[in-house]
Amino acid sequence: MKKSALFSLVLLVFSAQGFAQGKSLITKLDSPACNKDGKLQLDFFVMSYCPYSVRFMDTTLAAMINDLGDSLEWTPYFITERDGGKLVSMHGKKEVDEDLRMVCIREKFGRKQWLGYANCFSQQILAKQQTGGAKKWKDCALQVDINPDDIDKCVKNEADKLIEKDIKLSNDFHAYGSPTAVYNCSNQIVGAIPYKKIKAQVCKLIPGDKPAACKALKK
């Protein structure tokens, strides 16, 4: 998946340089702005086996959810594409298979269980691949009260169509670097940047009344 690999490397380096120079990390997109019920809409694009994506979900996203609470509406999407009709991803078939499982969990079981599963996958599977003792994906499904058979059924019968939304949005937002966060459909931040480094910029994007965490920022 050459396009995604190239964008992932170039954009992550660009983001790091932008922060080092004290510049805004937000890139304005051509797409129209949007938000849901006055909340900050976060659409983020990841690869299930990408270490930068794992860092974003385990640290940046977790801190953002904890800090912003109900002011944040978030949805995960996966960076993949078709090569002659076949789904491909940067880290190979294992990543395609996992992306499809996570898409099924997102669509069938909702964000709370998706996040619990994703955390288990990163901490109990990816983090322990080299040291041993890694769980299986089915263990993570059971940990968040999902029957693995239901996921298998979705992957077999529905996931290939469900992930079309991910492919379309990834292309619409030019989200090829993993991770890429898109706020209100029109503001993009690329890279697993710690939340505390982007908090002030993210708070400015929240429409309407700001949550207490943002009001506490020094002006």
- Prediction pTM value: 0.88
18 falls in which pLDDT band (50, 70, 90)? very low
Do 25 and 198 touch, CB atoms closer than 8 A? yes
36 falls in which pLDDT band (50, 70, 90)? confident
For 6, the 3-state DSSP assignment is helix
pLDDT in tens, 87-141: 999 899 999 999 999 999 999 999 999 999 999 999 999 988 877 788 999 999 9
More confident residue, 23 or 111: 111
Residue 14: the pLDDT is 39
Residue 23: the pLDDT is 61
Residue 35: the pLDDT is 79
More confident residue, 6 or 209: 209
Asked if the bond preceding 211 is cis, omega within 30° of 0, the reply is: no
- What's the rounded mean pLDDT across residues 57-84? 96
Relative to beta strand 40-46, strand 180-183 is antiparallel
Do 115 and 66 touch, CB atoms closer than 8 A? no
Q: How many Å apart are CA 115 and CA 106, to the nearest integer?
A: 9
Q: How many Å apart are CA 27 and CA 12, to the nearest integer?
A: 13
List, in order of start, the domains of the chain with CATH numbers: 2-105+148-197 (3.40.30.10)
Angle between helical axes of 148-157 and 93-109 (0-180°, round to 10)? 110
Residue 181: the pLDDT is 98
Tell me what the pLDDT averaged over the chain comes to.
89
